[in-house]
Amino acid sequence: MTNLVDKRILAASPLTEASFYILVSLAQPLHGYGVMQMVAELSEGRVHLAPGTLYGALANLQSLGMIESVEESGGEERRKVYRLTALGHALAEYEIRRLDEMSSNGKRLLGMGG
């Protein structure tokens, strides 16, 4: 799996569960509150992001070049909107393959099929 993988992706992997959900939530541009809602929806309420956790993870993902922020004005309010970069998309795909491999191996070793 590591053949021809960008070194920045290998350096960022593995993601925490929260960071993974934040990253895939940004397949469509969202502001922070929208990310919190999307993560709660995707995890069926199991993962709850406190604002400090969310904005810390967003800052980290942005410093790694996985996401970028754009200003979007909405009436009187200005909200920062985040979106996935091409590198972030590649990281999300890499993490999905990594998690699929782990799940498949675990199921096989535990006799669960798959």
Considering the segment(s) 7-107 as one domain, its CATH architecture is Orthogonal Bundle (1.10)
Please tell me the distance from the alpha carbon of residue 42 to that of residue 19, in angstroms, as a whole number.
13
* pLDDT score of 94: 98
Per-residue pLDDT of the chain (114 residues; tens, 9 = 90+): 556 789 999 999 999 999 999 999 999 999 999 999 999 999 999 999 999 999 999 999 999 999 999 877 566 667 899 999 999 999 999 999 999 999 999 999 999 975
What's the pTM? 0.88
CA atoms within 13 A on the CB side of 74: 10
* pLDDT score of 75: 62
- Residue 84 exposed, middle or buried by CB count within 10 Å (0-12, 13-18, 19+): buried
| Residue spans per domain, the chain | 7-107
β-strand partners of 70: 81
